[in-house]
Structure 1
């Protein structure tokens, strides 16, 4: 067994262990218990508000952009149709046990087949994560901000921020998924 096969990736973050989509970002919220997660943990109702209140505007943007993306994508079999707005989805279901998404702070584990789509948020972070990975051979850069590997169902996108992943770029991300 080679070294890459012998290493088990410790997946940790917020949301569900298996689902439709996982976004990968570098840092968890800098408050307990989120900054020391050792697994994927679903949020309870009101936890997004709690994180926003204690971790600032950056986290509010992350959750808002994530919810806007999911609402725009309307992924097949993703239970988002019961919500009239992205805000209602964010407040009632985003990253909770009944959801089908995750926000992960670990390296993607493509061998586990746990998510339909893996989206690494931020080109610089993606390059640092993928630097030593052999699977980057099939990664195609569509422009300076988006890359895709349809075989792995991996996308590199701008970071979850209004300026970086604007509504126009959310629509582009949705189109990339629809083409896959």
Structure 2
């Protein structure tokens, strides 16, 4: 992978599921951090305290998705969020870099937001399943609503979980 296509974000460098966002939180230290790095609970709290309510909502939607896909023994999505949501053992990542579809991989890519997906000029066609969701099964790519409560409602989250599980099953 070239430096221009290097992954940037939080989570496990060996992620199997990535969610892509256009913007980093407006906290200076996170504007310059290279690579994919685990996010500690203290860092998570720092971001929430020093950025907009949007980031709290985004993290909560991400935690709900992670919990629905694999509860990992946690009793609630809140417990998963607070313990290891984007830690090195999470097998997931929240990325701010453009998705890299050049590598052969079973990684699943979720692009948060239709507008952001359009800006990426993806190198393949998307099959729009509804105004909110699109998929390309060859490249394991899903376009979902933006990760906030209004756009990614519980019903839409359930749809996203089904789409991710269908790609994961295909990749086995």
Q: State TM-score, norm by structure 1.
A: 0.86
* TM alignment of 1:1-16, pairs within 5 A: 8-16=4-12
CA RMSD of aligned residues (A): 1.8
Check whether the contact 1:72–1:174 (CA below 8 A) recurs between aligned residues.
yes
Query: Of the candidates 15, 19, 28, which is equivalent to residue 19 of structure 1?
Result: 15
State the alpha-carbon separation in 1 of the partners of residues 161 and 35 from structure 2.
28
CA distance in 2 between counterparts of 1:15 and 1:114 reads 18
Match of 1:92 in 2: 83
Distance 1:146 1:159 in 2: 11
Task: Work out whether residues 66 and 85 of structure 2, in 8 Å CA contact, stay in contact via their aligned partners in 1.
Answer: no
SS of 1:55's partner is coil
Aligned to 1:33, the other structure's residue is in SS state helix
| Stretches of 4+ aligned residues off by more than 6 angstroms | none
Partner of 1:117: 108
Give the secondary structure class of the aligned counterpart of 1:110.
Answer: coil
Tell me if 1:52 matches 2:48. yes
Secondary structure (helix, strand or coil) at the match of 1:143 reads coil
Q: Pick from 53, 61, 67 the counterpart of residue 65 of structure 1.
A: 61
Pairs aligned (count): 167
Q: Deviations over 1:107-154 (max 9, x none)?
A: 10122356621000000000101x2x43x23x2010111000111110
Give the structure 2 partner of residue 153 of structure 1: 140
Paired residue secondary structure (1:111): coil
Unaligned runs of 5+ in 2: 168-172
The TM-score normalised by the length of structure 2 is 0.90
Q: 1:150 to 1:163 in 2, by over 3 A?
A: same
